[in-house]
Amino acid sequence: MPSKFVTPTFSNETTQGSLPLVEGTIGPAAVDIQTLFTNHGILAFDPGFRSTASCKSAITFVDGDNGVLLYRGYPIEELAEHASFTEVVYLLMHGELPVNDQLSGFKKDLLYYSLLHDQVMSFYRGFRRDAHPMAVMVGVVGALSAFYHDSMDTQNPEDRQRAAIRLIAKMPMLAAASYTYSIGRPQRYPNSQLDYASNFLQMMFGLPYREYVVDPVLARAFDVILILHADHEQNASTSTVRLAASSGANPFACVAAGIASLWGPAHGGANEAVLKMLHEIGSVENIPKALARAKDKSDSFRLMGFGHRIYKNFDPRSRVIQVQAKKVLEHLGIDDPLLEIAMRLEEIALQDEYFVERKLYPNVDFYSGILLRAMGFPTNMFTAVFALARTTGWVSHWLELQGENHGIDRPRQLYVGSPRRSYPSKS
């Protein structure tokens, strides 16, 4: 893209200058500050990275003011309506939707690598049965970095593609096993007749002594959940994966770091926290009290599933999930009081000045828990489902980063500690 010099300059008693402006395909321009420290000896200060573009990326674009999310240019609403998750995986990894026999070949690859090495299953036994599934997933995915050393040369494009496929292909059995282990149920294996979403559901809920019958409404709803959660630009967990990958670390270890970051309640852990919050509110009558707590700065309570660093409008994903949640609840004949509380909470909050002023809207996590609960997922599996979907985004960014050569990511800091001082003499 053409670079224009930015007219605003900076200066202090020792230096002054102006910096080039760089622009992407769409979205805000950026001031290129790469030479700021080397040429002028000063740093840019941006804790929380609210104004910082950490990299160039062609994978996903979010327009927070207008509630737009594009995967390789395709609007998330259209992909949720027309695509399968496997198509979206191919799109995010390769940049284009699969054509001709590319999709069937890709599905074969995913199935070929979908089994977990039998020794991996022994890692689960090291965990207490009541371990949180995300703790188990961090551990087991990290342990996968002890395997496959015969094909883990990240400088080799074939090894990179194989590692990417292995991670995406193995995550369904690995995530399902973090649940079946906790309830002492034997783990089922992938079924070659089922697609990615249905295979996960059968490994998650299937019993060893009878055939698992796929419910097409639930399978499609879960496919949409995977699509919606697959990627989201440089969110905290994806940035974690990129930072780890920049040192050349093993891709399985990088994704384990991403799982750890996603687990936080401010990030992917919010879907589990939303359900707990809705249970805590308990009834529509208690909503005003909950909103008062969310606005009270002396109270650490936040409206989980509300607000977003980038979306200052509706998160387009929350709208799609709400529709799927209603469809599944109706299909299953479930009248979930939590859905009524959630919808009423959204309605009241969006008329409340505190939320309107701060542009706090429901995000992807606000309704996802209600949908997952209706499908039979225990609350502590909600973030594991998010990690299952987001593995595609993490892997796609890992692949994209391999093509860059900006070296290891190593942020600087503004030092506010003690000036140099000497160790006190012991006289």
Catalytic center residues = 308, 365
Q: What one-letter code names the amino acid at 345? A: L
With residue 178 as reference, give the H or E element that holds it: helix 157-180
Using the rule CB under 6 A, is 373 a contact of ligand SDX? Answer: no
CA atoms of 208 and 206, how far apart (whole Å):
7
Distant-in-sequence, close-in-space partners of 310: CB < 8 Å, separation ≥ 6: 62, 64, 233
Interface residue with ligand SDX, options 162, 185, 220, 309 (CB under 6 A): 309
* DSSP-derived 3-state class of residue 63: strand
Is the Cβ of residue 243 or residue 304 nearer to ligand SDX in the bound state? 304
Structure tokens at 296: 């009270």
Options 118-126, 163-171, 360-368, 402-410: segment touching ligand SDX (CB under 6 A): 360-368
Burial (CB count <10 Å: 0-12, 13-18, 19+), residue 160: buried
Q: For the CB of residue 56, give the shortest distance to ligand SDX in the complex, in Å.
A: 18
Asked if residue 63 lies in contact with residue 27, where contact means CB atoms within 8 angstroms, the answer is yes
Using the rule CB under 6 A, is 226 a contact of ligand SDX? Answer: no
Residue with CB nearest ligand SDX?
Answer: 307
CA atoms of 325 and 339, how far apart (whole Å):
9
Is the Cβ of residue 198 or residue 235 nearer to ligand SDX in the bound state? 235
Q: For the CB of residue 329, give the shortest distance to ligand SDX in the complex, in Å.
A: 22
Is the Cβ of residue 1 or residue 266 nearer to ligand SDX in the bound state? 266
Using the rule CB under 6 A, is 362 a contact of ligand SDX? Answer: no
CA atoms of 231 and 254, how far apart (whole Å):
16
Using the rule CB under 6 A, is 385 a contact of ligand SDX? Answer: no
Using the rule CB under 6 A, is 57 a contact of ligand SDX? Answer: no
Q: For the CB of residue 232, give the shortest distance to ligand SDX in the complex, in Å.
A: 3
Using the rule CB under 6 A, is 235 a contact of ligand SDX? Answer: yes
Using the rule CB under 6 A, is 270 a contact of ligand SDX? Answer: yes
Burial (CB count <10 Å: 0-12, 13-18, 19+), residue 33: middle
Using the rule CB under 6 A, is 294 a contact of ligand SDX? Answer: yes
CA atoms of 323 and 334, how far apart (whole Å):
15
The C-alpha angle 80, 205, 316, rounded to 5 degrees, equals: 20
Binding mask 135-174 toward ligand SDX (x if CB under 6 A, else -) reads ----------------------------------------
Burial (CB count <10 Å: 0-12, 13-18, 19+), residue 1: exposed
Q: How many residues bind ligand SDX (CB under 6 A)?
A: 20
Using the rule CB under 6 A, is 240 a contact of ligand SDX? Answer: no
Binding site for ligand SDX (CB under 6 A): 232, 235, 266-268, 270, 294, 302-309, 358, 360, 363-365
